Structure 1
């Protein structure tokens, strides 16, 4: 196991050691958040013994400067998203208007008398009254949001691909070492839900062995999964893989992903069912903005007949910047850090030429049923509660393995074999043409009869049939017809030339 350490007054603290963690947690949050060069209220008072704060100049801009001097380490303004506040270990969206309250508190603490004689009492009172008004507070924030050190571009959030923010510090996944929280360092807005700890995880290892087996093949799959999950902890997307957890129900798929997602906190998210699906309408896909800063995004279980949008899958599993259009606002773009994970009892439909999907998919087969006597209700919750910090440490070890190893995510033989058959299995039209039809220049088959045979075959195989128009396009491609005009017309009936049904294939028209 990797040892987690942080820099402390005496050097590096081992946060997996109880004493080290206690020493880190003993640091006051205010000390961690404000830092050595924070301007204290006493430094901003209007002379010795003055009861209030005085800005360098009067007016909204001067008051904004006072606010920045007081709270420059407590707040950030992200141009595309709004205000963030420092929570003690990461930057969080200011959804409760804490920044507005901070301005109000500052205004109430402003002086009405300047012992240094720079400003008159009347001017100070007018300035304080203005600062305490709603319009004045909003004006202060309007100036402050553009101040150096306060303004932040969204691309700066969670930008370090090898860093993982946790409640006790930031883990460098390349080394396994942990640094203490620092608002002036790299800006982290995502965080795991628990800190890592080097503790035993017997229940987790038993779950993995029960799910994949404890023989040599099972151990190879667990080792591959360990590195694949570790890769998903990083913000790297260079491997360009799509893990797909496939198997019938109640065999561990959901438990595995639920545990990892709970531990990753808001580094992980669940995508809506249609996130990667081909759409029947021309409307835009939604949810792109939610990918910003994520490490793992799980796509909901596929239903029979669901069809992947290959272009969208390629775009969301690549390394190109993602642009998010927003109504009545400027679009913004970000570098992807997420890995898409698929889960399902059914294979998604893919086009036969879906090269990207075929090349990037890594199938993790779930073929074993739970062992009698070991079934545990709410197993995911139990694992997180009892062994969560240790499981997170196991995941961090997987990330360390990936970043310092060969970075080969091809997978063991069983995963590669299953993945190689994915496109074949999930191209129902192609399978039907191969299994139920024969190509021969002397043959012909009526269009309606062939489509009826295809629909009958789909019902027997559990597929949702494609529309007659889509099916016709595929058949014409198979027989080499460039246009429907080249079909044979006889007695007001259309026939495909060069193709026929094999003996025994029934059609229900």
Structure 2
């Protein structure tokens, strides 16, 4: 019905220019559920627009050749994609709005029913079952409220970690374990290892000290001073360089065991 709408995925992607109030947003007035399907790999969400749509404030839109107007978005936005869109890992406000729902169930080919879609659309065949499912869901909601499944929480956190610019470096060179308090690495070691990793892998993601620290916090590392080589040293708990990245005294030692594309 009119409560459900579809939108081009490009509507919600970052653009070089936002321009004037948009027609593609205007057509979503009154919708309660908006689905947008498929996106090319490496595209970036228009984070400002997503925040505006989900923030509970009025936004401005306009139909073609008509005056601009304001409206209050009431819809849940459902983005479907095989390749994840890029989101800034450190944008807490954005991540409060995102839930990644993994679809991991694959029906074996021998058990697939080619008529299933037609049957689900037939109110006489599937209508009673769908209504019973919806009523049961409503009863569960009244009893328990809206609970986010652990599978969704875990998938969302994994998505956020994937968006961290240090994720490939950590995968290649480090061990992160928030349950192991013995894991610790001097800041200088991590910085030197990252610089070497960048050169080896052709990366251009340069970070100053504050940015580097923020990215480490996002993977749940904690700043902590410890004794290292006979003196108090700044470092990070819950992370350590792999053994092949260090000499016998624990200092960073350049190696070529990275997955270099060159």
Normalising by the residue count of structure 2, what TM-score does the alignment of the two structures yield? 0.63
Distance 1:426 1:370, change over 3 A: same
2:127 is matched with which residue?
389
Cross-structure match for 1:282: 17
Equivalent of 1:440 in 163, 183, 188: 188
Cα deviations across residues 314-360 of structure 1 (Å, max 9, x unaligned)?
11122112221456643211222211012222222211112133223
Secondary structure (helix, strand or coil) at the match of 2:14 reads coil
Change (3 A) 1:395 1:335: farther
After superposition, where does 1:24-423 map in structure 2 within 5 Å? 265-279=1-15, 281-284=16-19, 286-325=23-62, 329-377=66-114, 379-385=116-122, 387=125, 389-390=127-128, 393-394=131-132, 396-397=134-135, 400-401=138-139, 404-409=142-147, 411-423=148-160
- Is contact 2:23-2:64 (8 Å) kept? no
Query: Using the alignment, how far apart are the partners of 2:259 and 2:85 within structure 1?
Result: 26
2: CA distance between counterparts of 1:501 and 1:278? 39
Q: How many Å separate the matches in 1 of 2:125 and 2:199? A: 55
Shift of 1:296: 0.7
* 8 Å CA contact retained: 2:86, 2:163: yes
Q: Which residue of 1 aligns with 2:258?
A: 505
* The structure with more radius of gyration: 1
SS in 1 for 2:79: strand
Corresponding residue for residue 211 of structure 2: 477
Equivalent-residue separation in structure 2 for 1:392 and 1:358 (angstroms): 32
Contact residue 306 and residue 349 of structure 1 kept, 8 A: yes
**CA 1:406–1:446: 2 relative to 1, 3 Å:** closer
- The change in CA–CA distance for 1:392 and 1:476 in structure 2 (over 3 A counts) is same
Normalised to the residue count of structure 1, the TM-score between the two structures is 0.35
**In structure 1, what is the equivalent of residue 236 of structure 2?**
none
Structure 2 distance, partners of 1:444, 1:417, is 29
Kindly report the root-mean-square deviation, in angstroms, between the aligned alpha carbons of the 2 structures.
Answer: 3.7
Note closer, same or farther for the CA distance 1:362–1:289 as it changes in structure 2 (3 Å cut). Answer: same
Query: How many equivalent pairs are there?
Result: 209
Contact 1:273/1:302 (CA < 8 Å) preserved in 2?
yes
For 2:5 and 2:80, locate their aligned partners in 1 and report how far apart those are by CA, in whole Å.
14
1:398–1:426 CA distance, 2 compared to 1 (3 A):
farther
Q: Write the distance in 1 (CA, Å) between the matches of 2:166 and 2:211.
A: 11
Do 2:42 and 2:85's aligned partners in 1 also have CA atoms closer than 8 Å? yes
Partner residue, 1:204: none
Contact in 1 for aligned 2:27/2:63 (Cα 8 Å): no
Q: Could you tell me how far 1:415 is from its partner in structure 2?
A: 1.7
Cα deviation 1:431-470 (Å, max 9, x = unaligned): 13433468627848889x8367156xxxxxxxxxxxx5xx
More helix as a share of residues: 1
* Residues 329, 369 of structure 1: alpha-carbon distance in 2 compared, 3 angstrom cutoff: closer
CA contact (8 A) 1:450 1:507 kept: no
- Indicate how the Cα distance of structure 1 residues 501 and 391 shifts in structure 2: closer, same or farther if over 3 A, else same: farther
Match of 2:201 in 1: 453
Q: Identify the residue that residue 239 of structure 2 maps to in structure 1.
A: none
- 1:418 CA displacement: 1.4
Q: 1:365 to 1:445 in 2, by over 3 A?
A: closer
Is the alpha carbon distance of 1:288 and 1:413 closer, same or farther for their aligned partners in structure 2, counting shifts above 3 Å? same
Residue of structure 2 equivalent to 1:261: none
What SS does the aligned partner of 2:69 have? Answer: strand
Contact 2:172–2:259, Cα closer than 8 Å, also in 1: no
